[in-house]
């Protein structure tokens, strides 16, 4: 909340009627209380507050390092809502992938959000939910791009990260926490959580996502569901 009004900070996805999956760096500083957040569901336009839900509990992954933020990995968090949302034609759950699922390079997937449409270009009114189809980029190739830019020999893209995007097609600021989904056998699985990147839509810097398959067991320890078959 800013100046008495709720402001969009991050995206998320509904994985259970009472649980939202998002990025841990969206819940900073660490001492922020659950009452500082609301979750909007069922709307295509931002700030149509027909279903604005209170958050009862925040669970960050224990390996998330706030001092490193998203770059340190484990950029994943769960929000438990005070009450379940009503599922409908416009409000539904996204499927979690099996932990064994492998996402191949160049597979085409979709990312959605209300974030900026380019560097320093906020989404203009009426702020309709945006979506774009983007290719998955292999971790080795993605790491090479980011290492070259940082002149570092350290591993930049970690095993629990996934890269996707191409020139002019990417997630951007304020899309953090939102879902990257891919289709297999008529089912849409959430394979990524928008995490970080370098600029937006840059040819040499794909967007970086938290790899959901790395955290399916952790999610299932907290949320009363099983991964989709």
Write out the catalytic residue numbers: 25, 75, 176
CA separation for the pair 50, 59 (Å, rounded): 26
Chain-centre distance for alpha carbon 23:
6
**Residue that the structure tokens 């659950």 belong to:** 34
H or E element, residue 111: strand 108-113
CA atoms of 144 and 148, how far apart (whole Å) = 6
Which residues lie below 8 Å from residue 141, measured CB to CB, with a gap of 6+? Answer: 105, 163
**Could you tell me if 134 and 165 are in contact, meaning their C-beta atoms sit under 8 angstroms apart?**
yes
Q: Is 139 left (phi over 0), alpha (psi -120 to 50) or beta?
A: alpha
Quote the tokens at residue 42: 């069922």
Please give the Cα distance from 103 to 141 (Å, whole number): 14
CA distance 114 to 210: 19
User: What's the rounded Cα separation, in Å, for the pair 228 and 202?
Assistant: 34
């Amino acid at each position: 909340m800013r100046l008495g009004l709720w402001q969009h900070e991050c995206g998320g996805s509904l994985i259970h009627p009472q649980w939202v999956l998002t990025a841990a760096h969206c819940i900073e500083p660490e001492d922020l209380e659950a009452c500082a957040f609301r979750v909007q569901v069922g709307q295509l336009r931002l700030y149509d507050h027909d279903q604005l839900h209170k958050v009862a509990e925040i669970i960050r992954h224990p390996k998330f390092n706030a001092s490193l933020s998203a770059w340190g990995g484990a950029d994943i968090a769960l929000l438990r809502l005070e009450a379940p949302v009503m599922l409908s034609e416009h409000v539904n759950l996204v499927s979690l992938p099996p932990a064994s699922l492998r996402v191949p390079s160049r597979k085409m997937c979709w990312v959605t959000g209300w974030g900026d449409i380019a560097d320093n270009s906020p989404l203009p009114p009426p702020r309709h939910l945006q979506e774009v189809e983007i290719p998955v980029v292999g971790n080795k190739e993605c790491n090479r791009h980011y290492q070259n830019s940082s002149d570092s020999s350290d591993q930049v893209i970690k095993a629990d990260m996934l890269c996707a995007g191409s020139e002019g097609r990417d997630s951007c600021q304020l899309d953090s926490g939102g879902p990257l989904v891919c289709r297999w056998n008529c089912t849409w699985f959430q394979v990524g959580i928008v995490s970080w990147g370098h600029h937006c839509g840059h040819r040499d810097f794909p967007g970086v996502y938290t790899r959901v398959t790395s955290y399916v067991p952790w999610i299932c320890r907290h949320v009363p569901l099983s991964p989709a078959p």
